[in-house]
Amino acid sequence: MKPLFFRSLFLITATSLVAILSMGPASAEAKLGVGSKAPELKVEHWLQDGKGFFKPVTAFEKDKVYVVEFWATWCGPCVMSMPHLAELQNQYRGEKVQIVSISDEDPEEIKEFLKGENPDLEKTFDEITSAYSLTTDPDRSSHTDYMEAANQNGIPTSFVVGKTGQIEWIGHPMDLEEPLEAVVKGTWDRDAFKAQYEAEHRLEETLQEISMLAGSGKFDEAIKLIETEMANTDSEALKANLKDFRYSLLLSSGKVGDDVIAYYREQIGNMQGDPMQLGQFAYSLIGVVQQGGKAGPLVGEAVAALAPTVEKADAETQPLLYNILAQLAQIDKKLDQAIEFQTKAVEVSEERQKKRMQLYLDELQSEKEAK
């Protein structure tokens, strides 16, 4: 009986760590990066032009600043970024700044999308995007020249092209405000950002390697790589996340020494009163044991922390939490407690779930009777 919505601690930590980097994977050496000459645009369809203010762009003009952004109608974060792009374009209107947003969809599909309304602003997307240059390039030539060349796999992604026609910044459009202002004012430190950008990409590659090693059971090698990266980074925030990652691997591999126990005791304390966090952690302990590892006193401590919080969870989650508690109690060789928790799991389950919960309860009762 394994509640599927709970993920292992390793996966939770790994996912969070990769997310803070907010950079696409660099599976091959990028042909386009910060400082590169920006490729010309070969966009097929210009659907918005700032109400006649802007003209289609091919070659970038000297002393002008451009934002080249990649988006799609099906991309929620892209749609959410539209009001911000419009606000920035209006802010810099008349200051030689042009935002060019590029999709690869059929023009008719985009025109249909533009008829829809943003409920928060009570404006159509046609009204919102009319502030800047909204385009589509179905042959994906621009996508190839920018996204693929820069090893950017996710949208929305923005490229700031500076006054000399070079790429000054690459990132999420919601983070555009500060770099765009600095590029326009001439205070942007391209070299510093380039060093940061390239370091993050190298780290992304290392994290992918760590994840692959851990996924194939090579925990010692993965932990060694993390420790090397911790020694090489100057970012305290990143060191803290790498530390979390290292401890999750130690726990997942069953290396539960005194330092691991002390670390997770502190984490359990920080999770007090939160049934979801405690449930995820407790389920991770079950996974450790099922893989042949030992979780030591953390099993009993997780039970003690989670049990009082179950009734705070929603009705759908409570049976799963009681089931997790029952499994932990069984691991801790406390069958009476396991039976008590699983009985509660059966009681609070919906009819379609009761039979599955009852099967595990029967298993526990049979184990007790066999003793």
Per-residue pLDDT of the chain (371 residues; tens, 9 = 90+): 433 344 444 444 444 444 444 334 444 567 999 999 999 999 999 999 999 999 999 999 999 999 999 999 999 999 999 999 999 999 999 999 999 999 999 999 999 999 999 988 889 999 999 999 999 999 999 999 999 999 898 999 999 999 999 999 999 999 999 999 999 999 999 999 998 888 777 777 777 888 888 878 888 999 998 898 888 887 787 788 788 888 888 888 878 889 999 999 999 999 999 999 999 999 989 988 887 878 889 999 999 999 999 999 999 999 999 999 999 999 999 999 999 999 999 999 998 899 999 999 999 999 999 87
Of 142, 143, 165, 151, nearest to 36 by C-alpha is 165
| Tokens 């996340």, located at residue | 241
Label residue 60 exposed, middle or buried (CB < 10 Å: 0-12, 13-18, 19+): buried
Q: Between β-strands 133-136 and 97-103, what pairing exists: parallel, antiparallel or unpaired?
A: parallel
- Is this prediction's pTM over 0.85? no
| Tokens 């600043």, located at residue | 65
Element (H, E) at 199: helix 190-215
Measured distance CA(125)–CA(149) in Å, rounded: 30
| 224: DSSP letter | H
Contact (Cβ atoms closer than 8 angstroms) between residue 345 and residue 323: yes
Looking at residue 16, its pLDDT comes to 44
Of 69, 28, 33, 12, nearest to 204 by C-alpha is 28
Q: Is 54 left (phi over 0), alpha (psi -120 to 50) or beta?
A: beta
Looking at residue 159, its pLDDT comes to 98
Looking at residue 28, its pLDDT comes to 54
Of 285, 293, 224, 214, nearest to 254 by C-alpha is 293
Looking at residue 283, its pLDDT comes to 92
